[in-house]
Amino acid sequence: MGDIVVLVKPALNPDMVRTKPDGSIDIDAIPLKLDDIDANALELAKQLKSALGGKVVAVLLHKWGSPARRNRDLRMVTQEALARGADEAILVSDEKLADGDQIVTSQVLAEVIKKYVPEYSLVLVAEASIDQTTGQIAGRIAAKLGVPFISYARKVEVADGKVKVERDVEDHIQVLEAPLPAVISVTQEINEPRPPTLIQIRRAAKKPQKKLTASDLGITPQPKKEVVQYRILTVTRKQIIIEGDTLEEIAEKLIQALEKEGVI
Amino acid sequence: MASVLIVEGSIGEILESITVAKLVGGEPVVLAYGSAAKSGDLGSIGARVYKLDAIHPDPIFNAVKKLYEEIKPIVVVGHGSKNNRDVLSRLAGLYDLPMGTDITKVVEASDSYVVYERGFLSERAVAQEKVPLPAVLLVNAKVFEPASPAGASEVVELPVEEGQVKLVGRLEKQLSGINLEEAEIIVGVGRGFKKKEDLKLAFELAELLGAQVGATRPIAADYKWLPEDAWIGISGKRVAPKLYIAVGISGAPQHMAGVNNAKIIVAVNKDKSAPIFKFADYGVVADLYQFLPVLIKKLKERKGQ
């Protein structure tokens, strides 16, 4: 018996990258969205909820720049997490926690879980985020909570106080078993999240939401990682479109070009 | 001299990580698990080696933790394999170490900090970050030259210390066994193919060129039209052929990140505004179902000459 925590990241949307004239990334101009694989984690939580008998709590931390400029995005991501099956949401947003590194993020999230969801039996985390893609938050939190950790889950079952997981390794699948509570990182292949229905979206507005700051958690952030720069990736390909009156002509020209390059 | 702890599951990765250890100026100490622990070459890499007969994370983590406390390395380095990311993120969490992942370049290294580069925003951007030591660094494959084996190593076998997570079974994946990382020419297939049977066009093209066939995430991981080891991209394989022919691939950055190191990229796509054309050296705007048969015919004629 216990609650399921799903960590949800308001992530920078990589499909809407904005740059400054000097080629550096304009972080404040990129909209936030609910991170892709977080939707898979929420879907899994919905499936496991009845077996564990508790509620699903989405825990969000705002990390990109001043939260004051991000109110609308943060509200939307929180609403979406609730519409996708969370029963309540806890959002941590604080100027002091903005632009922290993974040390700060994991300290904050572990502290929220310990203080506000102490009866948890599972913590579900995406294998990686779409903006930073470091894939290290789940392991860090497991270490801080001092509970078993299973990564890259493709299938999760709970019964008799235990969790059984099919874990994806590069060339095979490991079947692992651990006592609860546990931290699990999930892959995108674990399920196909259904988009929330209108009714679910409407109900989401009425679900409980809590907002926390660094001082609620007693945390003074001390990040160690320093960002030197973020810059747009420049592509240096030739970008030659091969044209011709017929497909035969185009194929000929392509073959000639590749022969000239010495690659066929 | 300060130590660098190398944690790896394969022997080739150990040699690349020794190069990274030299870059940061530390004496390599190696923890080899999985297939690396069974390699006959382990005795000749010229570093202190600990081997561990384990393939799942808990025993590997317990060994890493013990070695970390014993040798107090300035850097823990390894490749970004799933086991490494699992155990080293736990180590980073336990000691609040900064952890740089998917490193594509070391910009600067000293005995107190390292500056490196990595992909950001699903590889549309590059992040340059600076971490104080001690730190954990996960590097990408084939970024660093493998060190040459430097003579006899002292190899010590560590006892397997289980944790709370037990390995109770193993399932095999359906794999093709092809080694895309070594392929000189790769034909990549994407969602422009409407059904699995149509992939035979790509295979016919590949056969004519002596190429292998790779795929985007949907084709290999979601539809399962090809085995998973054909999946190219951030979460799949990173390849470096001299020629990559992308057929029916839109050019999502998550896929393109896996082929950044190709010498020449050709794109065939019927949508002239597809992002793939920005990532290609040569583009053909055409329906693959019409163009591939013509290209195949022309290549056959060329072969026959």
Which pLDDT tens digits describe chain B residue by residue (305 residues)? 899 999 999 999 999 999 999 999 999 999 999 999 999 999 999 999 999 999 999 999 999 999 999 999 999 999 999 999 999 999 999 999 999 999 999 999 998 999 999 999 998 999 999 999 999 999 998 889 999 988 889 999 999 999 999 999 999 988 888 889 889 999 999 999 999 999 999 999 999 999 999 999 999 988 999 999 999 998 888 899 999 999 999 999 889 989 988 999 999 999 999 999 999 999 999 999 999 999 999 999 998 87
In A, which residues are within 8 Å of B140 by CB distance? Answer: none
Residue B72 Rama label (left phi>0; alpha psi -120 to 50; beta): left
**Topology, domain B3-157:** Rossmann fold (3.40.50)
A213 pLDDT higher than 90 = yes
Nearest CA-CA distance, residue B24 and chain A, Å: 17
Q: How many CB pairs under 8 A join A and B?
A: 244
Domain B180-304 matching CATH 1.10.8.60: the answer reads: no
Residue among A179, A189, A241 minimizing CB distance to B277: A241
Helix, strand or coil, per DSSP, at residue A96: helix
Give domain limits for chain B.
3-157, 180-304
Residue B251 · residue B229 · CB < 8 Å = no
In A, which residues are within 8 Å of B282 by CB distance? Answer: 238, 240-242, 254, 257-258
Residue B220 · residue B228 · CB < 8 Å = yes
* Residue A224, in any domain of the structure: no
Q: Does B201 touch chain A (CB under 8 A)?
A: no
Domain of residue A111, CATH code: 3.40.50.620
Residue A93 · residue A74 · CB < 8 Å = yes
Mean confidence (pLDDT) of chain B: 95
SS in 3 state form for chain B?
CCEEEEEECCHHHHHHHHHHHHHCCCEEEEEEEHHHHHCHHHHHECCEEEEECCCCHHHHHHHHHHHHHHHCCCEEEEECCHHHHHHHHHHHHHHCCCEEEEEEEEEEECCCEEEEEEEECCCCEEEEEEEECCEEEEECCCCCCCCCCCECCCEEECCCCCCCCEEEEEEECCCCCCCHHHCCEEEEECCCCCCHHHHHHHHHHHHHHCCEEEECHHHHHHCCCCCHHHEECCCCECCCCCEEEEECCCCCHHHHCCCCCCCEEEEEECCCCCHHHHHCCEEEECCHHHHHHHHHHHHHHHHHC
Residue A121 · residue A160 · CB < 8 Å = no
Complex-level ipTM beyond the 0.90 threshold: yes
At B45 the pLDDT is 92
CA dist A150 and A195 (Å) reads: 27
Please count the structural domains in chain A: 2
- The whole-model pTM stands at 0.92
In A, which residues are within 8 Å of B221 by CB distance? Answer: 188-189
Select from A36, A106, A133 the residue whose CB has the most chain B CBs within 10 Å, as the one to mutate to test that interface. A133
A29 token code pair: 């101009």
Select from A40, A103, A243, A264 the residue whose CB has the most chain B CBs within 10 Å, as the one to mutate to test that interface. A264
Domain around A178: 2-217
Pairing of strands B27-33, B48-52: parallel
Q: Does B94 touch chain A (CB under 8 A)?
A: yes
- A128 and A187 in a common domain: yes
A122 token code pair: 């599972």
- A129 and A94 in a common domain: yes
- A186 and A72 in a common domain: yes
Residue among A177, A254, A263 minimizing CB distance to B166: A177
- A151 and A93 in a common domain: yes
A157 pLDDT higher than 90 = yes
- A241 and A158 in a common domain: no
At B1 the pLDDT is 80
Residue among A107, A151, A242 minimizing CB distance to B282: A242
Q: Does A227 touch chain B (CB under 8 A)?
A: yes
The DSSP call for residue A107 is: H
Residue among A30, A170, A252 minimizing CB distance to B81: A170
- A243 and A151 in a common domain: no
Residue among A171, A175, A227 minimizing CB distance to B175: A171
Look at A258 and B185 and tell me if their CB atoms are within 8 Å. no
Nearest CA in chain A to B272: A241
Select from A24, A186, A225 the residue whose CB has the most chain B CBs within 10 Å, as the one to mutate to test that interface. A225
- A97 and A25 in a common domain: yes
CA-based diameter of chain B, in Å? 67
Nearest CA-CA distance, residue A26 and chain B, Å: 11
At B51 the pLDDT is 98
Look at A250 and B173 and tell me if their CB atoms are within 8 Å. no
* Residue A222, in any domain of the structure: no
Q: pLDDT per residue over B265-285, tens digit each?
A: 999 999 999 999 999 999 999
* Residue A225, in any domain of the structure: no
* Residue A25, in any domain of the structure: yes
Mean confidence (pLDDT) of chain A: 96
Residue B243 · residue B186 · CB < 8 Å = yes
Residue among B122, B295, B297 minimizing CB distance to A130: B122
Q: Does A177 touch chain B (CB under 8 A)?
A: yes
Q: Does A228 touch chain B (CB under 8 A)?
A: yes
* Residue A145, in any domain of the structure: yes
Give the CA distances from residue A2 to residues A32, A50, A55, A89, in Å, rounded to whole numbers and listed in that order. Answer: 31, 10, 7, 16
In B, which residues are within 8 Å of A17 by CB distance? Answer: 121, 124-125
A156 token code pair: 């999760």
Nearest to B28 by CA among B96, B90, B78: B78
In B, which residues are within 8 Å of A177 by CB distance? Answer: 165-166, 168
- A151 and A45 in a common domain: yes
At A234 the pLDDT is 83
Dihedral sign, CA of B138, A42, B164, A171? negative
CA dist B24 and B21 (Å) reads: 5
Identical fold between B3-157 and B180-304: yes
A1 pLDDT higher than 70 = no
In A, which residues are within 8 Å of B216 by CB distance? Answer: none
* Residue A223, in any domain of the structure: no
**Residues of chain B numbered 206-225 and touching chain A (CB < 8 Å):** 209, 221-222
- A206 and A86 in a common domain: yes
